[in-house]
Structure 1
Amino acid sequence: MFIQNNYGADMARPRQFDADQAIDRGMDLFWSRGCAATSLQDLTAVLGIVSGSLYAAFGSKEQLHARALERYRSRNAGALISDRDSATDVWSALRATLTA
């Protein structure tokens, strides 16, 4: 939806939700249900937004899932790499990665 300004040009409505918070909530939902089992209705209910806002902010459910995966990776990869690098052999590294 567009709002007309005083000069006759269209302006996009400002986002009414925190995209980072939406990604975090989406990440939790995808984690618990999986991407395929998470519906657009599930996402909009948990995120507290309408489908148009989800599409405007993220493009699609799949793109939100990709952003959630990137968020998960950025938060958790450092610890996994550290555990792997501190292991004394391959089996210890594998065990550390899997238990993490």
Structure 2
Amino acid sequence: MTELIKKFTVQCDFKGQSSPFAIYVGNPKSDVHPIHHQDSWLAKERGGNIPIKVKDSLQKLHLLSQENGISFSELCAYAITVVSNSNKSSE
């Protein structure tokens, strides 16, 4: 199976300022948070933080992907599409 890596943009906190930041989602190891390394790098090198809500959602999606034997990156893309469409219909 080919590993797919997808790019997503999330609003991150940089010392009180909210700015978009790109995260990359692939097929993470099961023993670490799916964006652990990116989260650590952002904090150390840029002084930024990925919101807890985003990290929690990614962790839940990662567990779902493992339980169901599906691609984590594809599940993330699907979830974002569903949320985006839901937000559009509620406007």
TM-score normalised by L of structure 2: 0.32
TM-score normalised by L of structure 1: 0.30
Structure with bigger RCO (C-alpha 8 Å, 6+ apart): 2
